[in-house]
Amino acid sequence: MVKPNLKVKIGGLELKNPVTVASGTFGSGEEYKKLVDLNKLGAIVTKSVTLKPREGNPPPRVVETPSGMLNSIGLQNDGIDAFIKDKIPFLNKVKTAVIVSIAAHRIEDYAAIARKLDKIKGVDAIEINISCPNVKGGLEFAREPDSAAAVVRAVRAVSKKPLITKLSPNVKDITEIAMAAEEAGSDAVSLVNTFTGMAIDIGAKRPILGNIVGGLSGPAIKPIALRMVWETAKKVKIPVIGMGGIMDHEDALEFIIAGASAIQVGTANFVNPGAAVEIIGGIERYMRQEKIKNIKELTGCLKT
């Protein structure tokens, strides 16, 4: 059988395969360059960048939980100007798509960051993170269709890059937020970000995380994330990028069959930096076994 075609399109952006790495779990790729052949990835999604530098939340910031982890990093980053100066030169050398995740507290700040990125060659798309549960107000834009749409419209007005809106599962109906983002001009939606959660040290009778609460990710959330991706893919015409506890190629295939055009590997990167590359190989093997020529035949092929 000829090599299966794994190429997918996200708006105007073509990815060589549907396997990307989730924001906040892979730095800007450089940290992983000795461990992983970055050129094999469908895309690198960078850690969310804000307009000004942020120190992040007080430690501890990460705690392992049954089948998952809580993080409460608090969007630590050096700000957009340092990102452009320090990270873009490396990212320009990697032969894979670069999706820059952006976060803000104010709509005008999202627009200001996007305006700066619009001029940068080598930034292939922007992921608009409206769903960080770890900073005050970080989730506000993801909660209601109108506020989500307002952010997307503001970014759309200043950027020609493909836009992906990253949605929160901590909402009443994620499909309404996805439809609002589509209507406002988003080229794709990515879901889900983490679920708000907490862990308590019963000896100290204190929260373990410095920020008290954090975002739960990993296999523990996979069935819920999968259900949300399936529901959302039925409601929007734009591509859905699925994530939430994907550890291996079988998990990835579940998301694709549920309706995801592409997937993001997140928590698995902390356990096995090679996870995403192994997932690409696993998808290709599955396609050969099942005699599937094009990954698009699999997207949303769920029989119900």
Distance of alpha carbon 290 from the chain centroid: 28
Q: Please confirm, yes or no, whether 132 is among the known catalytic residues.
A: yes
List the one residue out of 42, 11, 37 whose CA is nearest residue 265. 42
Task: Supply the DSSP symbol for 124.
Answer: -
CA 23 – CA 26 distance, rounded (Å):
7
Footprint (CB under 6 A) of ligand SIN, residues 29-88:
48, 71-75
Output the smallest distance, CB 304 to ligand SIN, in A. 31
Taking CB under 6 A as the binding criterion, the range among 34-42, 126-134, 173-181, 260-268 that sits at the site for ligand SIN is 126-134
Taking CB under 6 A as the rule, which mask of x and - marks residues 134-163 in contact with ligand SIN? Answer: x-----------------------------
Please report how close the Cβ of residue 131 comes to ligand SIN at its closest, in angstroms.
6
Binder among 91, 99, 128, 132 for ligand SIN (CB under 6 A): 132
Q: How many CB atoms lie within 10 A of CB 191?
A: 28
Q: Taking Cα atoms as reference points, which of 244, 251, 240, 248 lies closest to residue 222?
A: 244
Among residues 99, 100, 132, 263, which one is catalytic? Answer: 132
- The nearer residue to ligand SIN, 129 or 261, going by C-beta atoms, is 129
Q: To the nearest whole angstrom, how small is the minimum distance from the Cβ of residue 192 to ligand SIN? A: 10
Instruction: Please report whether residue 171 would count as binding ligand SIN according to CB under 6 A.
Output: no
| Interaction of residue 197 with ligand SIN, rule CB under 6 A | no
Query: For residues 123 and 102, what is the distance between their CA atoms, to the nearest angstrom?
Result: 12
Sheet holding 213-217, edge to edge: 62-65, 68-71, 213-217, 195-198
In the complex, minimum distance from the CB of residue 133 to ligand SIN, in angstroms, rounded to a whole number: 6
Which DSSP state fits 187? S
Give the C-alpha separation, 271 to 281, whole Å.
Answer: 18
From candidates 50, 159, 190, 194, binder to ligand SIN by CB under 6 A: 194
**Shortest Å, Cβ 5 to ligand SIN:** 32
Q: Which residues pair with 128 in a beta bridge?
A: 102, 165
User: What residues have CB less than 8 Å from 288, skipping those under 6 apart?
Assistant: 1, 4
How far apart, in whole angstroms, are the C-alpha atoms of residue 244 and residue 296? 21
User: In this chain, which stretch among 10-18, 34-42, 130-138, 169-177 interacts with ligand SIN, using CB under 6 A?
Assistant: 130-138
Amino acid sitting at position 152: V
Q: Does 129 bind ligand SIN (CB under 6 A)?
A: yes
| Positions in the binding site for ligand SIN (CB under 6 A) | 24, 48, 71-75, 129, 131-134, 193-194, 215
- Please list the active-site residues: 132
